[in-house]
A and B are shown apart, each in its own frame.
Chain A
Amino acid sequence: KAGVTQTPRYLIKTRGQQVTLSCSPISGHRSVSWYQQTPGQGLQFLFEYFSETQRNKGNFPGRFSGRQFSNSRSEMNVSTLELGDSALYLCASSLAALANYGYTFGSGTRLTVV
């Protein structure tokens, strides 16, 4: 079966712009989580959606937002980009709403802000 698909794979944006990243989870997975990965901070939790509802949010500014659609696909948006937003953004899907299932990750979107 198809894995978690993230688009685009690579993105270069200018400071002050906004960006939208997309994630299609594994078919049947209703939970989608987003993580930011940087060399300095490691993997940081952004937010998690289940059945179109945001259930959990990490400690990121309001410039970071997301949503989930009825088909479980998810998008995250970053407005007013800063240089420090350069990172690998990972989407992860899970079969259920429980914490014990573990994730299936996508390959990520590499965002570079210049």
Chain B
Amino acid sequence: AQSVTQLGSHVSVSEGALVLLRCNYSSSVPPYLFWYVQYPNQGLQLLLKYTSAATLVKGINGFEAEFKKSETSFHLTKPSAHMSDAAEYFCAVSVPVTNAGKSTFGDGTTLTVKP
């Protein structure tokens, strides 16, 4: 079975500072990995995904993530935080074929951006 651990339920940064949200995964087979963002009273929006092509993945809103197999990590970064980035972020893992249509989500990290 696959699992995801997001380190830090709350992260606070100043506007313009680097954003780093941590995600570690566990999977018995090469996984697909995703980052989603959720704003209050809304559903989740896909930020980016890793599907075994390039290990550095660029997403929307200036976010990117790097897949590191040796560290079983898929951390999300953004060079300069903006007030509009304040939201909850979820890392998710899917396993090819056998669990098609099912993703396992982390517990989420709430990002606060201070002016």
Contacts and interface: CB of A to CB of B under 8 A. Distances in A.
A97 B42 CA distance: 25
A4 B100 CA distance: 19
Contact of A42 (B45, B97, B103, B108): B108
A contacts with B: majority SS: strand
Q: Could you tell me the dominant secondary structure of chain B's interface residues?
A: loop
B105 interface: yes
A4 B46 CA distance: 13
Given A94-B101, A100-B32, A100-B51, A106 B95 contact: no
Contacts of A45: 102-104
B82 interface: no
Given A45-B102, A102-B49, A108 B43 contact: yes
Interface string A62-105: 00000000000000000000000000001010100111101111
A26 to B, nearest CB: 12
A31 interface: yes
Contacts of A50: 100-101
A92 B51 CA distance: 19
Contacts of A92: 43-44
B107 A103 contact: no
Chain A CB within 10 Å, residue with most, of B32, B36, B43, B106? B43
Contact of A43 (B42, B96, B101, B105): B105
B100 A99 contact: yes
Contacts of A58: 102
Given A42-B107, A42-B108, A105 B45 contact: yes
A112 interface: no
Contacts of A104: 46
A43 B3 CA distance: 12
A89 to B, nearest CB: 10
Contacts of B43: 4, 6, 90, 92, 105-108
